Structure 1
Amino acid sequence: MADPAQQLPPGWAAEWDAANQRYVFIETASGRAQWEHPSAAAPAGSPPPASGSPPPTTHHGKRRQYAAGQTQAYYGASDGLTAPPAYGGAGAGVAQQQAGGQLFTPGLAAENQFASQQQQPAGAPYYAPPGEPDYINGPQYQQPAYGNQPQGPGGQVGALADQFGQMGMGGAGGQKQFQIYTTNLLTTPPDPRELSRPPPEIRLPPGASISPSPHANAHFSYQRSTLNAIPTTSSLLGKSKIPLGLIITPYRSVKEGEEPVPVVTDTVIARCRRCRTYINPYVQFIDGGNRWRCCMCSMSNEVPQLFDWDQARNQPGDRWGRAELNHSVVEFVAPTEYMVRPPQPAVYIFLVDVSHSAVQSGMVATAARTILENLDRIPNEDQRTKVAIIGFDTSLYFFSMPPGTTDSTMMVVSDIDDVFLPKPTDLLVNLSEARASLESLLGRVNDMFQENHTLGSALGPALQAGFKLMAPIGGKIMVLSSTLPTIGPGALKNREDPKVLGTSKESGLLQSASPFYKTFAIECSRAQVSVDMFLFSSAYQDIATLACLPHYTSGQTYFYPAFNAARSEDAVKFAHEFGEVLAMPIMLEAVMRVRASRGLRMASFHGNFFVRSTDLLAMPAVPQDTSYVIEMQIEENLTTPFVVLQTAVLHTTCYGERRIRVITLALPTTSNLSEVYASADQVAIATLLANKAVERSITHKLEDARDAVLAKMVEILQSYKSSMTAAGSGASAQLAISENLKYLPLLVLGLLKNVGVRQSAQIPPDLRAYAQALLTSLPSELLMPYIHPNFYSLHDMPPEVSWHVGEHGVIMPPPLPLTSERIVRHGLYLIEDGQTIFLYVGRDAVSQLVVDVFNLPSYEVLRGGKMTLPLLDNPFSQRVNAIIQKTREMRRGVYYPHLYVVKEDGEPPLRLWAMSGLIQDRADVLPSYQQFIGQLKDKVRLVLVL
């Protein structure tokens, strides 16, 4: 074993404790033992303790019986500062950590992966314009290694010092400090690669975590804060003008190759007696390991008797191997005291609009076929899943599906004012037992209504019927509706008025037109019923009102305007998304609560849920990849070196098991304003501002929402200038902001130009309401492209792009700034925002490009619009198709974007729609990025003068 004493960073010493067969690492500045390394024998030549060295750490005379080697973790002071020997148990030590296998800066993995992708060789054709010489291979694109710190002098010692710093063990200087770099927005053009950067590093003080595990703090895809260093006082936070908030995606999907969330199956759950915090990597063990001190309220708690017992092997266990001490995201299998009733089964009720327009559009046939094809994907591991189908137009159609037969019976209820269930049994059936009759019904349901000429929709009564059928159990109602509800409870009127669009009265169209849906949604929430809306109308459908159902029941809204299954693109998109929703594992009958260290308070909540009490969020179902935003306040001065934020979601899995998912995030505190700015997460701030803008547009006016977002951006810039620059409150030729926030103005501009908030008299209220539903539910990974689209040049792609499907999949082209200045008339470009993909073709595109991509002889015969790109037997076609496919698959979520081909001289509305994604350009009354920066500078200067 190498002698660790020879490889320590400055400020540290290592002494061999022969009596206890271990190294004791000592911080020379304080003389305090910080970390111990057990070993079977002393290395050759180990020096005896030097005279005058600090006394050995004290031992507790009374200790619990632990597994072999485990007690060494508790030698030392009883203040709980002594950390475990290594992640994974007592056997791993300094040598393993020096190898660096377990230590890395969070967030850099994705960048290193991207860098490795750039090494794959390939060839690429270049499509030159007429008269320009052809050449092969565009300029090589290199992704900068954002966040990687240059290795300082000292070689291995310097690297080890970095590792110690990342572990929170510090060097002579202790906690690493944020360094702030100022950028002048007037002279710094936006680089779209900024959005691929991880958030600022979380730099916890030494000894914050009892585990050196790289998973000890929550990854930002689960939980991220707008500030990665929390101000110690409310006045300091107010001075920065940066909003303090938390973006939570508690049920993030796990992609292939990612580690699943670890599950603690022994039902041993250690919680603080006072604040009910779950044990996590930031607690302290005291009293020889018999007790633990809460990281939030400092309460001393007993360690459960079975905490150190391996129930599977019926023998003493390794405490330091427990998932809850090494992972920030963990699930506990809940004991019976966490259950009000036995875990519910997964229940799905399909409310299908079978009116004339729904049948004629092909929605009914497509929906029935999709359900049929995905029956095996519906979560049903415990064979308890139940399903029901109810059709509706101006009447209700119930289907009895007796188990063990292929027969099904339809019962019609025309009394929609007093809804009743025509048969108490065989309407909600076990999926496995009634599989044959369900399959038979799904195969015939479209034919049964093929000649239906009824117009109108009794959606309200259909919802009431589904609720009566499901209320005793709870579950998910999936509504597929093609028309505006017109009769019975919940009937709506067409309130779309083009004269109102773009005026101060437009926000009225974004508010619910009927109290029925909110009242009904709250009843559903109490009964653990969630509602998903799939809306297909080609006319006004009042999404603003109907979206109340998913909003208060933690469901989702999906919109397919002018759906027509005769267009294969429409059918494929709906079938893909509907199928993914059916197959999605969901959390059922869930409640979520966020706890924080003393001094922090959860102030307001944004997202799809119902606030049951001051801080308890009721979620009948938690879909994957849905985000929730919580604003926080600093109520009293923070005196601890770091704070802890913990989200707990008590839920039933769709496989019938009661669990608690716990997500823990630790953040350092600071009294330094420069550290506050340097730790700010621009993506999290933009996510919070999007949620606040939508809320304000509904409660006030759209104009107020835009003004509030703009005012917040001006406040941040003004505060930064006055506090952090030499110019202070005087005149300056700069518009200064910290390096890590330099993309925030463009994200704000993208938000102001988004359909959900944009100033325009041309946006139909349904499209605006749906955009707002997306803005308040998409996780940051999906929200960023939605407000800041991706823009790629395809005709001159670098050689490595998409040519080889290597270890990390298809390589995407380098993103371009979102401005039409990058467009040349002979080019081929892709613009995408996660919901729609545009393939833009310049009017001077050479014939060979059109042949290779579209299999057409020339640009003149190419038609724009929604289409499916052919996959042709040539390399360029295969590369373009691979990029489109990668675009549809690379993000979490169920969305399957349509592809539109846009000709430069094609239909003006389609071209304007595509060009609206280039947010750095001027559009209508909306400024270009340079104009926007100029406006910000003027407003900042005006504020300072006033």
Structure 2
Amino acid sequence: MASPAEQLPPGWVAEWYTELDQTHQRPIFIETASGHRQWESPAQVNPGVPEHAPGGSPPPTHHNPRRRQYAAGQTQAYYGAEGGLAPEMAYPPAGGMQQQPTQGGQLFTPGLVADQQFQAQQGQAPVGQPSYYGQPGEQQPEYINAPGYGQPAQPSYGQAPVDALAGQFGQMGMGQKQFQLYTTNLLTSPPEPRDLYRPPPEIRLPPNSCISPSPHANADPSYQRSTINAIPTTASLLGKAKIPLALIITPYRSLNEGEEPVPLVTDTVIARCRRCRTYINPYVQFIDGGNRWRCCMCNMSNEVPQLFDWDQARNQPGDRWARAELNHSVIEFVAPTEYMVRPPQPAVYVFLIDVSHNAIQSGMVATATRTILENLERIPDEDERTKVAIICYDTSLYFFSLPPGSTDSTMLVVSDIEDVFLPKPTDLLVNLAESRAALESLLGRVSDMFQDNSIVGSAMGPALQAGFKLMAPIGGKIVVLSATLPSLGPGALKNREDPKILGTAKESGLLQAASPFYKTFAIECSRAQVSVDMFLFSAAYQDVASLACLPHYTSGQTYYYPAFNAGRSEDALKFAHEFGEVLAMPIMLEAVMRVRASRGLRMASFHGNFFVRSTDLLAMPAVPQDQSYAIEIQIEETIPTPFVVFQTAVLHTTCYGERRIRVITLALPTTTNLSEVFASADQVAIGTLLANKAVERSLTHKLEDSRDYVFQRLVDILVSYKTSMTSGGAGASAGLAISENLKMLPVLVLGLLKNVGIRQSAQIPPDIRAYSQALLTSLPSQLLIPYIYPTFYSLHNMPPEAGTVGEQGVIMPQALPLTSERMERHGLFLIEDGQTIFLWVGRDAVPQLIMDVFNLPSYEILRGGKTTLPVLDNPFSQRVQAVIQKTRESRRGVYHPHLYIVKDDGEPPLRLWALSALIQDRADVLPSYQQFLSSLKDKVNGIGGGY
């Protein structure tokens, strides 16, 4: 006899669930093509098999030959003790299953409750079926599938079930709770700094979206966030909102104290969609009795891997619902051999140290070698495979042979820089553990070797080629320390700094690479899995714009220490701290990143430090922690589903020699409602994207075009909001309306327009501007936002608890709006942007305050400039120190900001630098926040004018 499914008309599906103890056989439902489920008895669906009466003998078992039979210990994962489908399957508790009886003798099935809700809306009260839904606002069981949703995209199903679903969600009220749109008038609502540090708008997924109750089932915004948390279903709706759609991704962010590490799946059982290659995640659906899963991206039905429900560590049946990939949005898999082109590479570090006259005299060489020596223990080397080489250079190249097991080293000089060769095939790139003694001895002597060096040239290009030849067969990281403009051989540069073109249309030319060597060499490095970090120290012009190309295309980072002088303890401390953190940082090696999205969405453009190898594959030879990327997204076709999923996968080798895949999954609801698009917009993510776009435009166009572009994007959003969301519509209005969740966007844009990276000025050296642009395109949002909207505290009158330790660590004062109106002539204020800390001292500060903080008798004796505060034994000093320390520690990344004392009547350049951080004030040709809003209002009302 044909099976019930074969007897049904085309487009009908019969779902079967078979008892694992082989005592019952019960069909659960028949689902029609329209999504309606019918309950049938076993006799109806399987003629010839009698109903199992209480006390009678069980029917014979009949198994679908294609169904995998689970081991006895796994039965409770899908069934209750009485033969029904257990409620735990509908809503598995975090941490595993607990056996419970079915309620009222009824079987619970995916889709049943959804049907009951649908019937209730239609006035059909289902009889005798218990509801799984609680009161409004309670946590809902998220496994229950909505009727008709997520059918495979096959011809026999058509589009009707999915289209019907959208309507059903609307009728049933089963969609996400409505975003509440609150309008604010920017002209009467001053910026509130705390708004920038609140979580982004809540992600309100419809019920049934997620199979896990875990609070970690959706990506934390510090890993991945979207500019919009309710995705428009059509490109036209997105275009109407004028809000850019993009992801901000920091896949390898550092962990602060107390944060949970990313869960690691070690059994190499990796379930991926056969069609779109999406990794299994909390937003898939299990079907066919748990034997198959339906992809949340493309609806493809996939087999669950045989070992998915097996605990390999204990060699016994496992709890599926406890698997990390079904409960966490950010996970790592240990990759099996099919994910490897070659065995995992070891970590390799090649240090290129400039030993020219300037580098020696500034103390850079001594500080760098001492820092490497002090941090040898921290360089990742758990498996003792890490390799290290040191090459020094001025107008020649100096290689060092480091025999294993010896304390001696031999210096080999190569003067031919036009055709670089390695002077020795072995002992130049050595195992860190085996050659540790020789390495320590060498690092202690390098500075003395070159202490009388009077050579001023720099053959950085040839040194890069030599380092590349040394490590190209393996890959790894080249760390360049340079205090001089490269002047010889390939990559030689000339001083092109011209004060006459600063502030003109030609200035953007100074922000582009002067030589094609650096981009060409960077792409060659990327192919060989070599990344480059640049540490730059010159007091004169160094062409940061050209040199930053190397980190930009190889996923490295640029660090800049203008006018470095190790004789100032603050300079030495800052560099040693940051360089030491870079050396100790765990890095992802030979990485590639790809972002996948639900059907209808396409990754359109990419911003950040990497090389785009194919249309959507990003090559990252060595990914540092806390580096951020922005990816713009296009809506290519109407999205029919109630939510969409974005998944970032980074295939990489850890610096401990293990091939892994980090997967970050973000699910967002869809909407056809323009007000929900506005209410769900994330101003921090939008600001991060605009920073990347602004820098990109300044390089392809002019700096003025970059500023105009950012300003116009803000105007477009405000115009769209006004015409669509306010009663004023298209006419002129007295206010300047925006949604409450976007009210800090204008001041973020103003901060970006005033940032050194794109600010209108004829006084900014091109090296400073180029370095700022490197930061704008690589900092994660947590560091970028203070960089464009600094933090401002009043310390002299902070609350008594500020600066003391509370439950969450040091209690910070309340941040103030960035305007000098908040300054007092007798006060002490702190201004910081993540890169620099200013301590502003009012001219009328009382002697006791000066004594308590600086250990000086009066304001007149106090000197401004770069400093380190004395450690004093009084409560106020300790609280100020605690606030400064917390400020430094709370930012992700390796940066250790300098502290400057700024006197109210002190040196004008330092005062102006500090005051430029108060972006709500007028400065030079740049408007105040009120003037900026006024020009925005004129533009929105069609009067014209720019900012």
State the match for 2:616 in structure 1: 615
State the match for 1:671 in structure 2: 672
CA change 1:448–1:85 in 2 (3 A) is same
State whether structure 2 residue 764 is matched by structure 1 residue 772.
no
CA change 1:168–1:689 in 2 (3 A) is farther
- Mapped contact 1:63–1:289 kept (Cα < 8 A): no
State the secondary structure of the residue aligned to 1:365: helix
The AA in structure 1 aligned to 2:906 is G
Q: Deviations over 1:529-578 (max 9, x none)?
A: 00000000000000000000000000000000000000000000000000
Matches within 5 A, 1:436-451: 436-451=437-452
- Partners of 1:580 and 1:535 lie apart in 2 by 16
Deviation at 1:81, TM superposition (A): 13
The normalised TM-score by structure 2 is 0.85
- Mapped contact 2:133–2:141 kept (Cα < 8 A): no
Deviation at 1:76, TM superposition (A): 11
CA change 1:866–1:60 in 2 (3 A) is farther
- Mapped contact 1:251–1:624 kept (Cα < 8 A): yes
State whether structure 2 residue 754 is matched by structure 1 residue 753.
yes
State whether structure 2 residue 867 is matched by structure 1 residue 856.
no
State whether structure 2 residue 75 is matched by structure 1 residue 64.
no
Q: Deviations over 1:647-681 (max 9, x none)?
A: 00000000000000000000000000000000000
Deviation at 1:87, TM superposition (A): 2.1
Aligned residue among 85, 103, 118 for 2:92: 85
- Mapped contact 2:340–2:659 kept (Cα < 8 A): yes
- Partners of 1:93 and 1:930 lie apart in 2 by 63
State the match for 1:182 in structure 2: 183
- Partners of 2:78 and 2:933 lie apart in 1 by 61
- Mapped contact 1:598–1:638 kept (Cα < 8 A): yes
- Mapped contact 1:333–1:657 kept (Cα < 8 A): yes
CA change 1:287–1:423 in 2 (3 A) is same
Matches within 5 A, 1:118-157: none
CA change 1:287–1:900 in 2 (3 A) is same
CA change 1:343–1:218 in 2 (3 A) is same
Aligned residue among 138, 161, 185 for 1:163: 138
State the match for 1:930 in structure 2: 930
State the secondary structure of the residue aligned to 1:766: helix
Larger relative contact order (Cα-Cα within 8 Å, sequence gap ≥ 6): 1
- Mapped contact 2:90–2:142 kept (Cα < 8 A): no
State the match for 2:323 in structure 1: 322
- Mapped contact 1:407–1:437 kept (Cα < 8 A): yes
- Partners of 1:166 and 1:717 lie apart in 2 by 39
Relative to structure 2, which stretch is displaced further, 831-840 or 404-413? 404-413
Which portions of structure 1, spanning 4 or more consecutive aligned residues, are displaced by more than 4 angstroms? 30-34, 59-63, 73-78, 92-95, 157-160, 165-172
State the secondary structure of the residue aligned to 2:433: coil
Deviation at 1:160, TM superposition (A): 6.1
Deviation at 1:68, TM superposition (A): 4.3
Deviation at 1:84, TM superposition (A): 3.8
State whether structure 2 residue 573 is matched by structure 1 residue 575.
no
CA change 1:918–1:166 in 2 (3 A) is farther
Matches within 5 A, 1:234-245: 234-245=235-246
State the match for 1:145 in structure 2: none
Q: Deviations over 1:896-916 (max 9, x none)?
A: 000000000000000000000
CA change 1:578–1:76 in 2 (3 A) is farther
- Mapped contact 1:920–1:928 kept (Cα < 8 A): yes
The AA in structure 2 aligned to 1:86 is P
State the match for 2:803 in structure 1: 802
Structure 1: state its 5+ residue gaps: 1-18, 25-29, 35-58, 96-156
State the match for 2:887 in structure 1: 887
CA change 1:77–1:296 in 2 (3 A) is farther
CA change 1:166–1:317 in 2 (3 A) is closer
CA change 1:500–1:183 in 2 (3 A) is same
State the match for 1:508 in structure 2: 509
The AA in structure 1 aligned to 2:257 is E
Matches within 5 A, 1:321-360: 321-360=322-361
- Partners of 1:750 and 1:158 lie apart in 2 by 47
Deviation at 1:254, TM superposition (A): 1.3
CA change 1:32–1:212 in 2 (3 A) is farther
CA change 1:573–1:842 in 2 (3 A) is same
Q: Deviations over 1:657-715 (max 9, x none)?
A: 00000000000000000000000000000000000000000000000000000000000
Relative to structure 2, which stretch is displaced further, 808-817 or 550-559? 808-817
Q: Deviations over 1:370-406 (max 9, x none)?
A: 0000001000000000000000000000011111111
The AA in structure 1 aligned to 2:305 is P
- Mapped contact 1:74–1:82 kept (Cα < 8 A): no
- Mapped contact 2:80–2:101 kept (Cα < 8 A): no
Structure 2: state its 5+ residue gaps: 1-22, 29-33, 39-61, 103-131, 147-168
State the secondary structure of the residue aligned to 2:481: strand
- Partners of 1:721 and 1:612 lie apart in 2 by 42
State the match for 2:587 in structure 1: 586
- Mapped contact 1:217–1:327 kept (Cα < 8 A): yes
State the match for 2:14 in structure 1: none
Q: Deviations over 1:599-649 (max 9, x none)?
A: 000000000000000000000011000000000000000000000000000
- Partners of 2:768 and 2:270 lie apart in 1 by 46
Deviation at 1:173, TM superposition (A): 3.5
CA change 1:537–1:93 in 2 (3 A) is farther
State whether structure 2 residue 637 is matched by structure 1 residue 632.
no
Q: Deviations over 1:341-366 (max 9, x none)?
A: 00000000000000011000000000
State the secondary structure of the residue aligned to 2:809: coil
The AA in structure 1 aligned to 2:137 is D
- Partners of 1:515 and 1:611 lie apart in 2 by 18
Matches within 5 A, 1:471-510: 471-510=472-511
- Partners of 2:788 and 2:100 lie apart in 1 by 47
State the match for 1:829 in structure 2: 829
State the match for 2:150 in structure 1: none
- Mapped contact 2:598–2:646 kept (Cα < 8 A): yes
Deviation at 1:167, TM superposition (A): 5.8
The share of aligned pairs that are identical, in percent, is: 79
The AA in structure 1 aligned to 2:619 is A
State the match for 1:905 in structure 2: 905
Q: Deviations over 1:697-752 (max 9, x none)?
A: 00000000000000000000000000000000112111000000000000000000
State the match for 1:465 in structure 2: 466
Matches within 5 A, 1:338-737: 338-737=339-738
The AA in structure 2 aligned to 1:87 is A
- Partners of 2:589 and 2:650 lie apart in 1 by 10
- Partners of 1:391 and 1:473 lie apart in 2 by 21
- Partners of 1:625 and 1:163 lie apart in 2 by 36
CA change 1:345–1:824 in 2 (3 A) is same
- Partners of 2:83 and 2:660 lie apart in 1 by 36
- Mapped contact 1:331–1:661 kept (Cα < 8 A): yes
CA change 1:326–1:32 in 2 (3 A) is farther
- Partners of 2:849 and 2:731 lie apart in 1 by 55
Aligned-CA RMSD value:
2.5
The AA in structure 2 aligned to 1:580 is E
Deviation at 1:33, TM superposition (A): 10
State the secondary structure of the residue aligned to 1:571: helix
- Partners of 2:182 and 2:80 lie apart in 1 by 41
- Partners of 1:300 and 1:943 lie apart in 2 by 56
The AA in structure 2 aligned to 1:467 is F
- Partners of 1:579 and 1:425 lie apart in 2 by 28
- Partners of 1:583 and 1:813 lie apart in 2 by 32
Deviation at 1:32, TM superposition (A): 9.3
- Partners of 2:63 and 2:467 lie apart in 1 by 63
State the match for 1:288 in structure 2: 289
- Partners of 1:825 and 1:92 lie apart in 2 by 69
